[in-house]
Structure 1
Amino acid sequence: MTRVRILSALSLAGSLMTSWAAQAGIVYIPEGSADSVLMVESETGEPIGRIVGVEAVHGLAGAPGTRYLVAGSYTEINPESVAQRAKPEGVSQADHSAHHARPAQASMPTGKGVSLLTVLDAGTGEVVRRIEVPGAVHHTAVSPDGRWAMATHPSGDGVSLIDLTTLDYADFIATGLMPNYVSFSSDSSRAYVSNAGNGTLSELDLGRRILSRNLLAGEGPEHFALSRDGATVFVADAQAGTVLRLDIASGAVTATYEFGAELHGLDLSDREDTLFVAVKGADQLAAIDLASGATRLRQLAPAPYHVTVDDGGETLFVSSRDAPRVWVVDRVSLQVTSEIGVEGEGHQMVVLP
Structure 2
Amino acid sequence: MKGTFASTIAALLMTTAVATAQTIVFVPEGSADSVRMVKAETGETIRRITGLEAVHGLSGAPGVPYLVAGSYAETDRVAIVELNQPEGASEDEHAAHHAKPAAKPIGPADAGISILSVLDAASGEIIRRIGVPGAVHHTTVSPDGRFAVATHPSGDGISVVDLTTFELIAFIPTGSMPNYAAFGSAPDIVYVSNGGNGTISEIDLDRAIVRRNMVAGTAPEHIVIDAANSILFAADAEEGNVLELSLEDGSVLRSFAIGGELHGLDLSDDRTSLFVAGRGEDKIVAVDLATGGLTFAPLSPEPYHLTNIPGTGTFYVSSRAEPKVWIIDEATLAAVGEFPIEGEGHQIVAIR
Specify the alignment match of 2:27 in structure 1: 29
Q: Is the 8 A contact 2:151 2:180 kept in 1?
A: yes
Aligned residues: 343
Q: Shift of the alpha carbon at 1:231?
A: 1.4
Q: Is the 8 A contact 2:273 2:288 kept in 1?
A: yes
Q: Shift of the alpha carbon at 1:215?
A: 0.1
Q: Shift of the alpha carbon at 1:91?
A: 5.2
Indicate the SS of the match to 1:282: coil
Indicate the SS of the match to 2:280: helix
Match of 2:66 among 65, 68, 80: 68
Q: Is the 8 A contact 1:103 1:169 kept in 2?
A: no
1:82 aligns with 2:80: yes
Residues of 2 paired with 1:214 and 1:220: CA distance? 14
Residues of 2 paired with 1:177 and 1:229: CA distance? 29
Task: Name the CA shift for 1:111/1:340 in 2 (closer, same or farther; >3 Å).
Answer: same
Task: Name the CA shift for 1:222/1:86 in 2 (closer, same or farther; >3 Å).
Answer: closer
Specify the alignment match of 2:137 in structure 1: 138
In structure 2, list runs of 5 or more residues that go unmatched: 17-21
Residues of 1 paired with 2:282 and 2:93: CA distance? 47
Specify the alignment match of 1:125 in structure 2: 124
Specify the alignment match of 1:265 in structure 2: 264
Task: Name the CA shift for 1:81/1:270 in 2 (closer, same or farther; >3 Å).
Answer: same
Q: Is the 8 A contact 1:234 1:244 kept in 2?
A: yes
Deviation larger for 301-310 or 229-238: 229-238
Q: Shift of the alpha carbon at 1:105?
A: 2.2
Q: Shift of the alpha carbon at 1:21?
A: 2.9
Q: Shift of the alpha carbon at 1:95?
A: 9.7
Specify the alignment match of 1:9 in structure 2: none
Equivalent position amino acid for 1:144 in 2: P
RMSD: 2.4
Q: Is the 8 A contact 2:261 2:279 kept in 1?
A: yes
Task: Name the CA shift for 1:104/1:26 in 2 (closer, same or farther; >3 Å).
Answer: farther
Specify the alignment match of 1:216 in structure 2: 215
Specify the alignment match of 1:18 in structure 2: 10
Task: Name the CA shift for 1:133/1:95 in 2 (closer, same or farther; >3 Å).
Answer: farther
1:200 aligns with 2:199: yes
Q: What's the % identity of the aligned pairs?
A: 51
Residues of 2 paired with 1:94 and 1:53: CA distance? 24
Q: Shift of the alpha carbon at 1:43?
A: 2.5
Equivalent position amino acid for 2:49 in 1: I
Residues of 2 paired with 1:338 and 1:276: CA distance? 17
Q: Shift of the alpha carbon at 1:187?
A: 2.4
Q: Is the 8 A contact 2:23 2:350 kept in 1?
A: yes
1:180 aligns with 2:179: yes
TM-score by length of 1: 0.91
Deviation larger for 54-63 or 243-252: 243-252
Q: Is the 8 A contact 1:103 1:132 kept in 2?
A: no
Q: Is the 8 A contact 1:102 1:131 kept in 2?
A: no
Task: Name the CA shift for 1:174/1:238 in 2 (closer, same or farther; >3 Å).
Answer: same
Specify the alignment match of 1:228 in structure 2: 227
Residues of 1 paired with 2:201 and 2:325: CA distance? 31
Indicate the SS of the match to 1:70: strand
Equivalent position amino acid for 2:88 in 1: G
Residues of 2 paired with 1:235 and 1:103: CA distance? 41
Residues of 2 paired with 1:252 and 1:192: CA distance? 15
Residues of 2 paired with 1:136 and 1:86: CA distance? 19
In structure 1, list runs of 5 or more residues that go unmatched: 7-11
Task: Name the CA shift for 1:180/1:31 in 2 (closer, same or farther; >3 Å).
Answer: same
Q: Shift of the alpha carbon at 1:14?
A: 5.2
